[in-house]
Amino acid sequence: MPLGSGVLTGLKTVLMVGRRKPSTVMYPEHVRDIGYRFRGQVGMRRDEVTGGMTCVGCGLCETACPNDVIRVDTSENADGTRFVDRYLFDVGRCVFCYFCIEACPVDALQRTHDFHLVTEDRRGLLIDGQKMIEIYENDQAYREAEQHNIGPGAAIANWFERG
């Protein structure tokens, strides 16, 4: 091989790839679609009647979680029902196994596609039920895409399905 041909090959690659559209995006200004099979953060359904968490405070998710992510503190409501004082979810410890979602008897916990776990402070990864409702509601587009197989993530999901 003539001397310097390696440099030329390299240069050629650079020139070719340099003209293509970049694979990376400028996160967080730009967010890529992900397949709707993606296992993102655990969200919480809003209760239609009370407007709060659907959670009834049974603690089953806390029990099912293998990583001690969830803490549910409850007390008694004025009407004698169970009141969820505090629902804490430590995303930093979550391995997205979704055992909690399996366990929830009232389907309060829901899977979402939210992968925005970046914070400047680890404490930001400790989220409460209200935040989980937001996460769930912001995931609406994906849920619809999943149902109708169009919209964000559909193409990627189809690509995976085709194999």
Partner 1 sequence: MSSETVTLTIDGQEVQVPRGATVLQACESIGVEIPTLCTDPRLKPYGACRMCVVEVQPGPPRPTASCTTPAGDGMTVVTDSQSIKDIRKHVIELQLQHHPLDCPYCDQAGTCELQDEVFDQEIFQSPYETVPKAHPEEILNEVILINHNRCILCGRCVRMCDEQIGVRALDFVERAVGTFIAPAQHEFMDCERCGMCIETCPVGALLSRPFKHAARSWQTEKTASTCPHCAVGCSLLVESRHGSVVRTRSNGLEEPDRGILCAKGFFGHSFVNSGERITEPLVRRNGALQPASWSEALNVISAGLREVLDAHGPQAVGVVGSPNTTNEDNYTLQRFARAVLGTNNVYSQSSGLHAAARTLRAVLGSAAGPRSQSELLESDVILVVGADIGQTHNVVGAHVKQAARDDGRTLLVATRLASGLDDFATVAARVRPGAEAVLLSALAGADIPNMHALTGIDADTLTAMRSRVQAAGTVAVVWDTGVWTLGKAEAIAQGAANLALAHDGVKLFPLPERANAAGTFLLGMAPDLLPGARPLSDDEARRQASDAWGAPVPAEPGLAFDDFIDGPMQALYVMGEDVVGGSANPQGAQAALERARLVVAQDIFMNATTEAADVVLPGATFAEKGGHFTNFEGRLGRLAPAIPPVGKARPDWEIVARVSAAMGADFGWRSHEPISTELAGLMQRPSLPGSRESAAVNGAAPAPADGFVLATEQHLYTAGVSGRRADSLTLMLPEAVAELNAGDAQRLSIAHGDRIRLSADGGEVNLKALVADRVPPGVVSLPDRFLEAAPRQLDPRAPDGAAVRVHKV
Whole-number minimum distance, CB 120 to partner 1, in Å?
A: 28
Burial (CB count within 10 angstroms: exposed 0-12, middle 13-18, buried 19+), residue 7: exposed
Question: Is residue 72 at the binding interface for ligand SF4, with CB under 6 A as the rule?
Answer: yes
Helix H or strand E segment including 136? helix 129-137
127 binds, among partner 1, ligand SF4, none (CB under 5 to 8 A by kind): none
Maximum Cα interatomic distance, the chain, rounded to a whole number of Å: 87
Which of partner 1, ligand SF4, none does residue 132 bind to, with CB < 5 to 8 Å depending on kind? none
Q: Which two tokens stand for residue 115?
A: 């992968």
**Residue span binding partner 1 (CB under 8 A) among the ranges 79-87, 88-96, 116-124, 145-153:** 79-87
Q: Does 106 bind ligand SF4 (CB under 6 A)?
A: yes
x-or-dash string of contact with partner 1, 84-113, rule CB under 8 A: ---------------------xx-------
Helix (H, G, I), strand (E, B) or coil at 61: helix
Beta carbons of 131 and 139 less than 8 angstroms apart: no
Place of tokens 């999901």: 157
- Give min distance, CB of 70 to ligand SF4, in A: 7
State the amino acid at position 89 in one-letter form.
F
List residues binding partner 1 (CB under 8 A): 56-60, 62-63, 71, 74-76, 80-83, 105-106
